[in-house]
Amino acid sequence: GSIQSCLDLWRAALRGSLYISLIRDEVLPIHKVTEEAFGSIKGYGKRIADIKECKEHALTHSGQLHRGRRNFLRNAVREMEAVLANEPGLLGPKVVYVFMALSFCRDEVTWLCRHSEHVSKSKNPEDFSDSHLAELLFLMEELRHLLRRHQNVLQRYYVQYLSQFDALVLSDIIQDLTVCPEEESVIMSSFVSSLSALSVKQVDQKEKFEFSGLRLDWFRLQAYTSVSKAPLQLRETPDVAKVMNLIVFHTKMLDSVEELILETSDLSIFCVYIPLLEKLFASTMEEPSMLRYAIAFPLLCADFSHATHSLCPEEYPHLRNCALGLCSKLLEDIARQASSCILDTCAEQHNLSEQLLPKHCAATISKARNKRARKAASKKGEPEREKPGAESHRKNRSLVTNLDKLHLTLTELCWTLNYVPSFLVFKHTVTPVEYLSSQLETSLNRALVRLAQASPGSTEIARPSEVLAGAQAYATFLVSLMHRVGLDTGRLLRNVLLQQTQPLDAAGEQTLTTLYSNWYLESLLRQTSMGTIVFSPGMRAFVSLPKEGEPTFSAEEYSDVSEMRALAELLGPYGIKFLSDNLMWHITSQMVELKKLVTENMDVLVQIRSNFYQVEQMAALLPRLTATENVLKRMTIIGEILWFRALAQEGLQDVFTNHCPFLMGPIECLKEFVTPDMDIKVTLSIFELATAAGSPCDIDPALVTAFSNLKKDGSSPEEEYKVACLLLVFVAVSLPLLATDPSSVYTSEIDGYNNNIHCLAKAIIQVSAALFTVYNKNIESHLKEFLMPETESTQRLDSGLPNKEFTGVTGLS
């Protein structure tokens, strides 16, 4: 204890650290243990004072010392990595410095693990945490990657080094030995011969090197020359030891690079410091300049496999689950933040594209018109609206917009996700980009739904054309992501848009299909049935009738040709089919009520059907009918629903023709081969195919399917057929009532009637075609039968005969 150099080393060790590792997270407080040890020895009171002084110094300055070391290593290793990446040939002569750098970095990281976990009270707690540790871990990974990538360079260099230098030096040293027993001479001669036989061709032919035997012989030689009374004493020939140790290191550059990497840079200690790892990762994600290095933490999980041991196999499943779970969690956090940044950028792009929508040009047109008419300028208080593109004009590039910040953050996150295409964790292949794809798929589904919702919880909905423009803006930006990260955006968009054509997405949440189907059924068509919206054949849209004192709702903005095309573009064939199925459900509900009304008036309708040419009997029978207005109203509702479905089908046909003309042509051609004599099943199959593509058909297969499911269990087909025939009779004799309705007035602006009675024709034709297809009857003959009573009733109306038989008819129930 009196040697000053030893005392200086001892004090330096006590001042540099507070704890040393025993095994994994078990640490030893060196000051406490040393103080207890010296306390039991007499005469060492001065040393106890030194220990206390060193402990105080360590608490005060060791954290700052090691923080400075980490800062130095970050800069030095960054420069080393840049030089070696640019000149990989330097790896050969300078590889020892690479391993030294890895070892220094590992020591600092493990020191931080030990002390940040166990130092609870400190004057400077920031010295025991490091938000920039991710960069150091990343640089270690870069150096390891360089060693693995350029292993061929190392092998070429050290093959020549061993054969052309080490072998010659070792041979000269052996010849200079004064005493060399035969066995030792044989071993050393084999060293020289093995090294001299090496050549660069072996590297070019990718032969596998194996020098474990040579290193074992050197170990055996050390044993021979280290025993007492050995003829050749190793301590007397230090040059042999120096050269052989150098040769051992050089041989490891040929066959054991991976083992050296593990020996100098293993960070499996983090498997017992999971909370610390998560804390460091969280601080990294909060530091914008460190985002690009965040991938170092998931890559660190691959080192956990080095903590396993063959003598303790029961730990393997636990460590594997821990590594895979932590790696997945970290990648999900990175992907979640990247996904959020991507969608925020998409929202900004959507806001920019929304400024180009036609609805925003009205103010500009009005201003230009007023200027042309030389009207007075507007008041000073009225702000002037900026034109689209004004955000691109900047007087100073230092002005950073929100979009600039998002792009910068997104670039850093994409860089970290794209650093490696995949890596192994406990023999499981982990692909970082797939985590981003999964997060984006879920988030994008919700974002598209939010585009359609005017506000959460409200019944208002955005126009399909606006949602389509927003979706296109989102898709355009997502496609540009392919240049930043290896993401299959085509597959992502196909998956998301396909899910939007279904009632629920993969997460079980509502989609655009559900939103628009519910809105068109519950809002637009419900108001149409109430008389506030009418169908305009000329405009091919539903039009709102303005009413005083009520807010106007422009139904044409949601149902014209362009909106139906946009709706078909968003929902696709699957979504339009779902919408059609819901429409069919409402039609069948009306048919159920109509059949009930027919059943109530069965006897009267049977007599009318057989006596509609007898004026006296008809005059007596017609007043006995009940709920005639109800019949007309329900048939009108069916006609309105069918017209809306026809508009949606037309939109689908336009979209399908535009996207798949090579499919639409054969479908139309196949439809032309349908004849009345063809088997009805074949006909319906062809019509179903055509309807799926939006092409109109004489017989609606969806109506046929819906009406087929309406058959009552206890009724015979003949009774059902009879009800269908009487329904047409009921409608035919009720039509003259429309002449007495004051709202049955033709309006040229909408090319129709304010009470939508022009929708009756479509309802009668399509319902008749579907009903008699179900019962396998001739459609044309039954429509002629419908025209007979209808014509007779109309002629009596035209001849001026009194219609007293219709007085006292019940209203809509």
pLDDT digits (tens, 9 = 90+) for 696-749: 998 999 999 998 888 765 678 888 888 888 898 888 888 888 878 888 888 888
Q: Considering the chain, what is the average pLDDT of its residues? A: 87
Question: Position of tokens 């068109």?
Answer: 520
For residue 712, give both structure tokens.
């009552």
| Mean pLDDT value of segment 129-136 | 91
Query: Residue range 99-112: average pLDDT?
Result: 95
DSSP 568: H
User: Out of 641-645, 713-717, 769-773, which region has the weakest mean confidence (pLDDT)?
Assistant: 713-717
Please give the DSSP secondary-structure letter assigned to residue 26. Answer: E
CB atoms within 10 A of CB 60: 14
Mean pLDDT over 319-332 rounds to 95
For 451-502, the pLDDT digits (tens) are: 998 766 667 899 999 999 999 999 999 998 888 888 889 899 999 999 999 9
Q: For 528-582, what is each residue's pLDDT tens digit?
A: 998 889 999 989 999 988 776 665 678 898 999 999 999 999 999 999 999 999 9
Number of other CB atoms surrounding residue 750 within 10 Å: 21
The per-residue pLDDT for 791 is: 67
Residue among 163, 427, 409 at smallest CA distance from 308: 427
Neighbours of 698 (CB within 10 A): 14
pLDDT of residue 676: 82
Alpha carbon of 801 to those of 307, 472, 792, 805, 808: distances in Å? Answer: 103, 62, 12, 11, 17
pLDDT at 195: 93
* pLDDT at position 458: 64
Using the predicted structure, report yes or no on whether residue 384 has a pLDDT greater than 70. no
From 33-42, 241-250, 572-581, 662-671, the region with the lowest mean pLDDT = 33-42
Q: What pLDDT does residue 423 have?
A: 94
DSSP H or E segment with residue 747: strand 746-747
Residue 54 has pLDDT above 50, yes or no: yes
Mean pLDDT on 189-205: 92
Q: How far, in Å, CA of 338 to CA of 540, rounded?
A: 45
For β-strands 19-23 and 26-29, DSSP reports them as antiparallel
Q: Give SS3 for 543.
A: strand
Instruction: Say how many C-beta atoms besides its own lie within 10 A of residue 730's C-beta.
Output: 25
- For residues 758-777, average pLDDT: 90
Residue of higher predicted confidence among 135 and 678: 135
How confident is the model at residue 265, as a pLDDT?
A: 94
Q: Is 665 a residue whose pLDDT tops 50?
A: yes
Name the amino acid, one letter, at 202: Q
Beta carbons of 13 and 3 less than 8 angstroms apart: no
Largest CA distance in the chain: 147
The pLDDT value recorded for residue 805 is 40
Q: Regarding beta strands 423-425 and 428-430, do their DSSP bridges make them parallel or antiparallel, or are they unpaired?
A: antiparallel
